[in-house]
Structure formats: C-alpha cells, structure tokens
Amino acid sequence: TLNSASANGFDAEFDPVAGDGGTIRILDGASINALRQNSSIALVAPRIEQGGALRTAGSAALVAGEAVSMTMD
C-alpha cells in the first residue's frame, strides 16, 4: 500500500507475502538518481543487494524487512 496524500512525503505499509517476497538487486554499474532538491529514493524488500550507485539531493532509504510501515517527510 502506498499513500501519497502529501506533496511533502508519503506513508507506506508493506505486508508479508507468501514465499520469499523477492529481492531488489542493484547491479554493479547501475545507478538510481533522484537529483531534484529534496527528492527521495525508497527501496523496500525482504532482501536488498546494493552493488550500484544511488544519488539523491534529499534522502535515501534501503529497508529490508518482511513487513514494514514507514513515513517519509
């Protein structure tokens, strides 16, 4: 579930799923860019493998978990 009621952030809840829930893999040489002022990057999965580059002019969250509730402002 992703709620984006505010222009300044968002609330999200990620519930457990059957199976392993998946993996986010950022491979060597890959890049994720969020370069506008106050931009954000959020990656949420049971497993995150970070081998590339993340660049942001705000905040970045890499959250590994089976169930997550988070708010970013």
Q: What are 32-68's pLDDT values in tens digits?
A: 999 999 888 888 888 999 999 999 998 898 988 888 8
Please state the length of the chain.
73
Q: pTM, whole model, 2 decimals?
A: 0.72
**Parallel/antiparallel/unpaired status of strands 59-64 and 2-3:** unpaired
Cβ-based neighbour number of residue 33 at 10 Å? 12
